[in-house]
Structure 1
Amino acid sequence: MLLEARFSVVQMNTNRRLRSNQPSRLSSSGESGIENERVLVLVFESISWDIHMLCAVASLSRRFCAIARRILWRRLCVNRAPGMVAALSGADPSWRIDGGWHALAKLMFFCGGGESTLYFNLSQPSLGHFACESRFSKTSGRFFLPKNCRRECLYISDPCAHHAVGGDEHLGVFRGVFREFMRSKTRECLVRRQAALEEKFRCPYCGGRMWSMTAARLVPKSAARRLGSREGGLEFFVCVSGHLHRTCWLIPLSSSDKEENGEEEDNSDGNVI
């Protein structure tokens, strides 16, 4: 009832705008009210593309789910992370993203770890949580690439820290995305090394098959240093659509370490979502 009431208020304001300012923007397809695609876009613009509301609307019916997949998820990504989307799509927001815009939106906002999570096990998936704030960095992404692949575009999030079960250590859950992974040198290296696709695990964002970068020996030492992980405490997967995710054991930092790390960190390309 609360969801319907909220949308009723927003819809009335939106329809008033359309009638008074832009009467020609409504489509002639016979659709009206909240199911009109243009009205939906204006509704979400008015609430700053709230991710929770979009998820709720997309689950209401097949009609809403189809509109979300065709229009709303892309517009959400463009609105909330314009710089990152421009880099991934070649500055063309109509560009198709590998795995789909809905998968990219989930990767931007959803952390697959929970308070009781030690490892991703897709046969017993954790509930995960919406990340209150995520920073994705192209600079950090270079540290995850082999030397001969450093020119590729890879965005990596800062790790989301979770308490490990039965101990004082913290587990960092991170995620990332490649630009045009199908044509990347990283994928070429995986194919050339005849890396096997995982049998039991699937990408939690698009459901695609995944390679273990650890098993393929394509995890540079610089990746662990960038995340603040102890040696041997990092592993990650990349799926056929270029979505990257996994965990690392975080090294506790002293106050002086945090200050030094903050001075050295380059945030110029960071996209806070």
Structure 2
Amino acid sequence: MNTNKRLRFNQPSRLPSSGESGIENERVLVLVFESISWDIHTLCAIASLSRRFCAIARRILWRRLCVNRAPGMVAALSGSDPSGRIDGGWHALAKLMFFCGGGESNRYFNLSQPSPGHFACESRFSKTSGRFFLPKNCRRDLLYMSDPCEHHAVGGDEHLGVFRGVFRDFMRSKTRECLVRRQAALEEKVRCPYCGGRVWSMTAARLIPKSAARRLGSREGGLEFFVCVNGHLHGTCWLIPLSTEEEDDDNSDGSVI
């Protein structure tokens, strides 16, 4: 053995100062999140650490989170390629799946105090529920809707219901076609809480079917919702008690997140 020959140790590869990270590091992050069942709070914390982690989250982690937590819904929304792009971005879909945007006073709802947004402990999205929010001539569209999240209205006995939803391929939907055909104006002061896009008021466009109020357990005229240019839906309603006969327990197509 040559005693003059020095033992050499592989030096740890330096992380690039800019640009894309090494694939090994991305794999490690995926494995970590798989081990903690894609915890949304941890992913938000990681994505806010640096621009680099934010870029990895946008490129890989948000999509993997959505696929892991709601595979059926994601497959229906993204078609045959769940690894591809989705309207508004995967980070916006992840936020919509896990975050209730709360409610604020507007021209239809006079709240004495805004109802704050919050992470939802559990949400069920259903395409069956979505059909109740589509006008008759738009029933071929695919819309996943959440159950309403109940918020106690300060100073009153009623409860505010806050709900959200997402369309598949909204750019080609009959709903968007109806909005354009009616020359519905985009709202000036309201933005989508999930992607920041411009929104249409479905109330102003007169495209809220009566079945939506029945599905939510709200009185007619007691709800308002908006749809953004990327197909994200958010809205509020005044909830009233439902009788046993009015309740619908069809959970066969729901995605619990």
**Fold similarity call, TM over 0.5:** yes
Is contact 1:33-1:39 (8 Å) kept? no
For 2:238, the equivalent position in structure 1 comes to 249
Shift of 1:261: 4.0
TM-score normalized by structure 2? Answer: 0.86
SS in 1 for 2:188: coil
Shift of 1:35: 8.1
Is contact 2:192-2:198 (8 Å) kept? yes
SS in 1 for 2:31: helix
* 1:216 and 2:201 matched: no
* 1:206 and 2:195 matched: yes
The letter for the 2-side match of 1:260 is: E
The letter for the 1-side match of 2:61 is: L
- Select which of 123, 126, 129 maps to 1:137: 126
In 2, the alpha carbon distance for the partners of 1:177 and 1:125 equals 24
In 2, the alpha carbon distance for the partners of 1:107 and 1:265 equals 23
Shift of 1:231: 1.4
The alignment of Structure 1 onto Structure 2 pairs a total of residues equal to 237
- Larger % of strand: which? 2
- Select which of 117, 136, 144 maps to 1:147: 136
In 2, the alpha carbon distance for the partners of 1:150 and 1:168 equals 35
For 1:269, the equivalent position in structure 2 comes to 253
The letter for the 1-side match of 2:171 is: M
Is contact 2:105-2:114 (8 Å) kept? no
The structure-2 alpha-carbon separation of the partners of 1:56 and 1:127, relative to structure 1 and needing over 3 Å to count, comes to: farther
Pair member with larger Rg: 2
SS in 2 for 1:198: strand
1:132-177 deviation per Cα after TM superposition (whole angstroms, max 9, x unaligned): 0000000000010111110111000000000112111000000000
Is contact 2:226-2:234 (8 Å) kept? yes
1:103-122 correspondence to structure 2 within 5 Å: 103-113=92-102
Structure 2 segments unaligned to the other structure (5+ residues) = 1-12
SS in 2 for 1:249: strand
1:165-212 deviation per Cα after TM superposition (whole angstroms, max 9, x unaligned): 211100000000000001111001000100000011110000000000
* 1:72 and 2:61 matched: yes
1:1-273 correspondence to structure 2 within 5 Å: 36-113=25-102, 127-253=116-242, 257=243, 259-262=244-247, 264-273=248-257
In 1, the alpha carbon distance for the partners of 2:127 and 2:141 equals 10
1:59-104 deviation per Cα after TM superposition (whole angstroms, max 9, x unaligned): 0000000000000000000000000000000142112110000000
Is contact 1:35-1:64 (8 Å) kept? no
Shift of 1:33: 9.7
In 2, the alpha carbon distance for the partners of 1:86 and 1:272 equals 15
In 1, the alpha carbon distance for the partners of 2:209 and 2:162 equals 18
TM-score normalized by structure 1? Answer: 0.82
Shift of 1:34: 11
- Larger % of helix: which? 1
The letter for the 2-side match of 1:105 is: A
Is contact 1:141-1:155 (8 Å) kept? yes
